[in-house]
């Protein structure tokens, strides 16, 4: 079948393959293996945070190194706009997606995307709720600022807006270009 993940197709007693079949098989096996291991997501999430800290526009923003506050609040990436002193609090999100599962079942894909967007909305609400802790930490470090904007950035492609966006949209707006 066309949606099958086997690397070989039997025809008249002979087995045939091509690059697409092998690639689909390897991608599916890798996706399934990685989905089962939470550690993979956590580790790749830290790498994503590191990448975000390295690839913002350094002509417009400066990185503020606040990882954990005195109240044990944790922040992923904090940028300060050099022109207007606005703070951008970036929460990085990473989640597993098995694209082949989506292609087979559209209703599953819609439900999954809806759940992912709800989690991203919840993450944004959580960051907004922690704004006072961030303000206190910035003031404790004598860092002047005007406003704080909270953004949730997803490693995977999602429908984007000003507050929740995927990595490519973030780079268009805040990256080196």
Please answer whether residues 86 and 149 qualify as being in contact, where contact means their C-beta atoms are separated by less than 8 angstroms: yes
> What pLDDT score was predicted for residue 103?
64
Helix pair angle (106-129, 131-140), 10° resolution: 40
Please answer whether residues 104 and 5 qualify as being in contact, where contact means their C-beta atoms are separated by less than 8 angstroms: no
> What pLDDT score was predicted for residue 79?
92
> What's the whole-model pTM score?
0.70
Please answer whether residues 95 and 116 qualify as being in contact, where contact means their C-beta atoms are separated by less than 8 angstroms: yes
- The mean pLDDT value of the chain amounts to 82
Direct distance between the N- and C-terminal alpha carbons of the chain, in angstroms, rounded to an integer = 44
Q: Work out the pLDDT band at 164, boundaries 50, 70, 90.
A: very high
> What pLDDT score was predicted for residue 30?
76
What average pLDDT does this structure show over 33-50? 66
Please answer whether residues 70 and 87 qualify as being in contact, where contact means their C-beta atoms are separated by less than 8 angstroms: no
Nearest-5° angle of CA 85, CA 157, CA 86? 5
Residues 130-158: tens digit of each pLDDT: 999 999 999 999 999 999 999 999 888 88
The residue behind tokens 């590191």 is 50
pLDDT reading at 61 higher than 80 = yes
């Amino acid at each position: 079948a066309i949606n099958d993940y086997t690397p070989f197709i039997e025809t008249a007693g002979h087995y045939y393959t091509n690059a697409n079949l092998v690639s689909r098989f390897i991608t599916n096996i890798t996706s399934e293996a990685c989905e089962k291991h939470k550690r993979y997501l956590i580790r790749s999430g830290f790498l994503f945070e590191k990448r975000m800290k390295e690839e913002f526009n350094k002509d417009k923003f400066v990185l503020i190194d606040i990882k954990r506050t005195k109240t044990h609040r944790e922040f992923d990436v904090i940028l300060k706009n050099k022109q207007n002193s606005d703070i951008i609090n970036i929460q990085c999100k990473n989640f597993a997606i098995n694209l082949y599962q989506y292609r087979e079942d559209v209703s599953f894909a819609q439900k999954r995307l809806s759940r992912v967007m709800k989690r991203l909305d919840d993450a944004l609400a959580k960051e907004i709720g922690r704004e006072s802790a961030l303000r206190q930490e910035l003031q404790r470090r004598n860092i002047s600022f005007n406003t704080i904007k909270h953004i949730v950035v997803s490693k995977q492609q999602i429908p984007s807006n000003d507050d929740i966006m995927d990595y490519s949209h973030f780079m268009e707006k805040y990256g080196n270009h």
